[in-house]
Amino acid sequence: MNNLQKKTSKPMLAETQPQIATLALTNLSLTLTDKTILQHVSLSLAASGITCLIGPSGAGKSSLLRCLNLLQKAWSGQIEIQQQDIRQWPAGEDALRRFIVLIAQKPAVFPVSIAENVIFGLSRKQRKTNQDVRIKTCLQQAALWDEVKYRLDEPAKNLSVGQQQRLCLARALALQPKILLLDEPTASLDPRSKQLIEASLKTLALTMPVLCVTHDLEQAQRLSEKIIFMCDGKVIETADSVTFFQQPLKLESREFLRWSSCDCD
């Protein structure tokens, strides 16, 4: 337990870093059990704004996100945040995951109260300072505060799927991350929840880069300034949103848009 306390009370790297982070991938490749998942992926993220990662199923989008916060470690190549190789992250991989937070497609709330879920990732020391204010701010940022403010002590499992997804967002925001990774954050959500999450993301993207995997091309158009199109583990095209949806350069991109039922105009 002493070891645990030492680790959790260690100051987070995120707190010592500059506020805005940039992310660069060079030649990222991933092969799992003889199957190539990612091939020489190179891309970079701006210091703020939403970048949407789109492509057919099995293109390697989710795997790419998992590589970025080291949930998947079997990759080769280089990933740098502010010119710092993430494999040599000074405070270790746990600190990196607080710096670059991944929110999964399926909301995974812990079997504790709503309020406890929000502060679940914080150290004991962090929990002691301004706990109530922190919970309120994070829930507001995730557009959930108005719906749960009178039932913060209720089990988080009682929330709807859409609310649980926003709670996961609030929980991630409590860590004050500098980069946000989202894996289909609004898949299987109702239109109202989708709208609320999108609004939150737009606000958050003013101060941090957000990389969002989505199959919803309309959403990608609404949200992002930049689109990265992936297919078969490769980045096929990177373009600003308007250009990509109106005049895609690559044949694969055009095919993908043609097969999608999205109204791209």
Partner 1 sequence: MLKIIRFGYLIALFSIAALLWFLVVNTWPFWAEFGLSSLWLDEWFPYESLYGLLPALVGSAWVMMIAMFFALPCGLAAAIVGSELLSKPWQSTLRLSVEILAGIPSVVYGLIGLWILLPWLQNTFDLITGHSLLAAGLLLAMMILPTIMVMSLDALRFVPQEQREAAASLGLDWNTRLITVLLPQAWPGIRSGVLLALGRALGETMAVMLVVGSLDKMPSPIYNILEPAQTLTSRIGREMGEAAFGSMHFSALMANGLILAIISMLLSFMVLRQRKAAQR
Using CB under 8 A as the criterion, which residues of the chain lie in contact with partner 1 when the complex forms? 3-4, 7-8, 12, 69, 71, 94-99, 101-104, 106, 108, 110-111, 120-121, 168, 171-172, 175
Contact 56, 78 (CB under 8 A): no
Report the residue number, 152 or 175, with the smaller CB distance to partner 1.
Answer: 175
Closest distance between partner 1 and the C-beta of residue 212, in Å? 15
Closest distance between partner 1 and the C-beta of residue 248, in Å? 32
Closest distance between partner 1 and the C-beta of residue 4, in Å? 4
Closest distance between partner 1 and the C-beta of residue 169, in Å? 12
Report the residue number, 81 or 172, with the smaller CB distance to partner 1.
Answer: 172
Please give the radius of gyration of the chain, using alpha carbons only, rounded to the nearest integer.
Answer: 19
Query: HSE (CB half, 13 Å, CA atoms) of 93?
Result: 9
Report the residue number, 102 or 236, with the smaller CB distance to partner 1.
Answer: 102
Rounded CA gap, 73 and 6, in Å?
A: 25
Closest distance between partner 1 and the C-beta of residue 139, in Å? 16
Rounded CA gap, 184 and 75, in Å?
A: 22
Rounded CA gap, 169 and 126, in Å?
A: 18
Report the residue number, 88 or 261, with the smaller CB distance to partner 1.
Answer: 88
The 10 Å Cβ neighbour count of residue 192 is 9
Rounded CA gap, 152 and 139, in Å?
A: 10
Closest distance between partner 1 and the C-beta of residue 62, in Å? 11
Rounded CA gap, 80 and 61, in Å?
A: 18
Q: What angle do CA 242, 246, 250 make, to 5 degrees?
A: 105
Report the residue number, 43 or 180, with the smaller CB distance to partner 1.
Answer: 180
Report the residue number, 59 or 109, with the smaller CB distance to partner 1.
Answer: 109
Task: Give 19's contacts (C-beta < 8 A, 6+ positions apart).
Answer: 178, 207
Closest distance between partner 1 and the C-beta of residue 98, in Å? 4
Task: Give 118's contacts (C-beta < 8 A, 6+ positions apart).
Answer: 134, 135, 138, 139, 167, 170, 171, 174
Report the residue number, 61 or 98, with the smaller CB distance to partner 1.
Answer: 98
Rounded CA gap, 186 and 194, in Å?
A: 5
Within 88-167, strands assigned E span 100-103
